[in-house]
Amino acid sequence: CADIALYRVKEQGRAHYQFYHHSMLQSTPYMMLIETGLRKAINQNEFVVFYQPQVDLCDETINSFEALLRWNSPTLGFVAPNEFIPLAEDTGLILPIGTWVFEEVCRQIKEWYEKGYGYKTVAVNLSTKQFQQSTLVETIEGILKKFNIPPHCLEIEITEGALKDARETISVLKRLKEIGVQISVDDFGTGYSSLSYLKRFPLDCLKIDQSFIAELLTNPTDEAITTTIIHLAQKLNLTVIAEGVEEQEQAQFLKEINCEKAQGYYFSRPLPAHEVEKFFQQ
Ligand code: C2E
Ligand code: MG
Ligand code: MG
Ligand code: MG
């Protein structure tokens, strides 16, 4: 049942996984704590953006990053996105939070540029709810102007789920494309979507889901899927990024099968902005 969600509940310092029906969510104490906390978090500066490098497998250079949101709550500690994003979506709080992420990322791109590191590209995850917000394009356009950065420095990551609602989505994506923002499909291959959207949407990049990379070297099906996505991307002139690369052997194999970029713990975990700067000096 689509209404049943899996949520982590903290109990005596240990993590438990439990099933909840949507209607029960708001009534569990942990969820209530999160919701109350989330409402205050923006104003109290509790959100932090971490950046994970995306490595060009050909020459090992790093020119792009994925922005991953972290919530440093005074009462709950560091809360992972998978724990608070679903609730932020249910409560609508994802809209102000999402706008904050765009602001913060563009401010950071500008700061790196002013420090002499050049313009870096940063990908921001967008939830379906943000897509349905009529002011999304204007908001992004306004923020790009405010910080006066080249629009191609900003990339948005959408999941295949967001591509389902075709008509509205195409027009939003086309307008973003007109501005010059780049568009990636996140978790590619996991979303039950028809491949025909590759024809209709103005995309720049496919991100191979980490579930295919985990057993890339031992599972022939995962290898076949990964290789095929890479070929597909090449034929369609799209960039391709493998996610969740944790081992040297995976990186080496991906390079051999002509995967353009990779991202994962093998290269670097997501890091705070000041720690990412060490990659610019190399
Ligand atoms: P995602 O966009 O698919 O991001 C990839 C996730 O995989 C991140 O988890 C990242 O830290 C993790 N990861 C990176 N490399 C590896 C690896 O080598 N091995 C493994 N096992 N994991 C790796 P994270 O940061 O916890 O984010 C989880 C999800 O939360 C993201 O999945 C994204 O869907 C969502 N999210 C994160 N930040 C935002 C945001 O600002 N806005 C929205 N709407 N969603 C966000
Ligand atoms: Mg992503
Ligand atoms: Mg992903
Ligand atoms: Mg994901």
Ligand 1 touching residue 127 (CB < 6 A): yes
- The pLDDT of residue 14 is 44
Which atom of ligand 1 lies closest to the CA of 49?
A: 41
46 has a pLDDT exceeding 50? yes
126 has a pLDDT exceeding 60? yes
CA of 11 to the centre of ligand 1 (A): 24
CA of 122 to the centre of ligand 3 (A): 14
Lowest model confidence (mean pLDDT) among 23-32, 74-83, 209-218 = 23-32
Q: Whose CA is nearest to atom 46 of ligand 1?
A: 125
- The pLDDT of residue 6 is 42
Amino acid at 260: E
Ligand 1 touching residue 82 (CB < 6 A): yes
- The pLDDT of residue 214 is 98
Q: Using DSSP bridges, classify how beta strands 121-125 and 62-73 pair: parallel, antiparallel or unpaired.
A: parallel
Q: For the full predicted model, state whether its pTM sits above 0.95.
A: no
What percent of the chain has pLDDT above 90? 73
Pick the ligand that lies closest to the CA of residue 53. 1
Q: Which of 38, 51, 68 to mutate to test the pocket of ligand 1 (most atoms within 8 A of CB)?
A: 68
- The pLDDT of residue 26 is 52
What region does 118 belong to: left with phi over 0, alpha with psi -120 to 50, or beta? left
Ligand 1 touching residue 78 (CB < 6 A): no
3 has a pLDDT exceeding 50? no
59 has a pLDDT exceeding 90? yes
- The pLDDT of residue 56 is 97
Q: What is the 3-state secondary structure (H, E, C) of the chain?
A: CCCEEEEEEEECCEEEEEEEEHHHHCCCHHHHHHHHHHHHHCCCCCEEEEEEEEEECCCCCEEEEEEEEEEEECCCEEECHHHHHHHHHHHCCHHHHHHHHHHHHHHHHHHHHHHHHCCCEEEEECCHHHHCCCCHHHHHHHHHHHHCCCHHHEEEEEEHHHHCCHHHHHHHHHHHHHHCCEEEEEEECCCCCCCCHHHHCCCCEEEECHHHHCCCCCCHHHHHHHHHHHHHHHHCCCEEEECCCCCHHHHHHHHHCCCCEECCCCCCCCEEHHHHHHHHHC
What percent of the chain has pLDDT above 70? 89
Ion ligand 2 — residues with CB under 5 Å? 125, 157, 186
165 has a pLDDT exceeding 60? yes
Q: Give the pLDDT band (50/70/90) at residue 7.
A: very low
85 has a pLDDT exceeding 70? yes
On average, the pLDDT of the chain sits at: 89
What region does 187 belong to: left with phi over 0, alpha with psi -120 to 50, or beta? left
